[in-house]
């Protein structure tokens, strides 16, 4: 199943600079968005008919949020570039990115940037960083909060 979505916060579109978008079925990760501008492209895996829920991860503070809309797995594409599937960020789950399934980490590719918690690019390689907490951006568009000792 494919989804072309636009993620909304308080009615305004947000993109990959602020949030990552993950798709789940019964708390099992089924896909992570790749962003192009304000459009999230998600490829989900399933057999058909499974309920799909979404979570948004704030790339600044690592907090995880519900997404109000849900879908049912189908072998088609939901949304388009001209009429994307609108997904609305809901309430915080009480989790942060470090508490998500390790399968989120398996989707990540090589790091391409290390950012401060306020979203400022600090370095492109971990070797040049002092101890602290950072958001790491990966080549596949995913993000993760990490602690460097």
DSSP 9-60: ETTEEE-TTTEEEEEEETTEEEEE-EEETTEEEEE---SSS-EEEEEEEETT
Same domain, 99 and 114: no
CATH number of the domain that residue 6 is part of: 2.60.40
- What radius of gyration, in Å, describes the C-alpha atoms of the chain? 15
Q: Domain check: are 8 and 66 in the same one?
A: yes
Among the listed residues 104, 109, 103, the one whose alpha carbon sits nearest the alpha carbon of residue 56 = 104
Measured between alpha carbons, how far is 58 from 45 in angstroms, rounded to an integer?
24
Q: Are residues 79 and 115 in the same domain?
A: no
> Model confidence at 48, in pLDDT bands (50, 70, 90)?
confident
Q: Are 73 and 66 in contact (CB under 8 A)?
A: no
Q: Is the pTM of this model over 0.75?
A: no
Give the pLDDT of residue 108: 42
Phi, psi (rounded to 5 degrees) for 126: -70, -25
Average pLDDT on 83-101 reads 81
Q: Taking residues 23-42, report their average pLDDT.
A: 86
Q: Are residues 100 and 113 in the same domain?
A: no
State how many domains the chain has.
2
Closest CA to 52 of 3, 113, 116, 122: 3
pLDDT at 103 over 70: no
Q: Of the candidates 144, 77, 138, which has an alpha carbon nearest to the alpha carbon of residue 109? A: 138
Q: Which DSSP helix (H) or strand (E) runs through 106?
A: helix 102-106
Residue 121 predicted with pLDDT over 50: yes
Same domain, 25 and 53: yes
Domain that holds residue 29: 2-104
Dihedral in degrees, nearest 10, Cα atoms 110, 43, 84, 78: 180
């Amino acid at each position: 199943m494919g989804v072309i979505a636009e993620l909304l916060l308080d009615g305004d579109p947000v993109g990959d600079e602020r949030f990552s978008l993950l798709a789940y079925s019964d708390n099992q990760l089924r896909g992570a968005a790749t962003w192009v501008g304000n459009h999230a492209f998600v490829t989900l895996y399933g057999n058909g008919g499974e309920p799909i829920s979404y979570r948004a991860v704030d790339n600044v503070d690592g907090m995880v949020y519900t997404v109000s809309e849900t879908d049912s797995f189908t072998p088609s594409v939901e949304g388009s570039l001209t009429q994307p599937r609108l997904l609305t960020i809901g309430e915080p789950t009480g989790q942060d990115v470090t508490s998500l399934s390790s399968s989120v980490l398996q989707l990540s590719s090589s790091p391409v940037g290390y950012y401060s918690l306020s979203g400022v690019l600090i370095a492109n390689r971990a070797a040049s960083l002092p101890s602290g907490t950072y958001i790491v951006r990966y080549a596949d568009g995913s993000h993760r909060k990490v602690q460097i000792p």
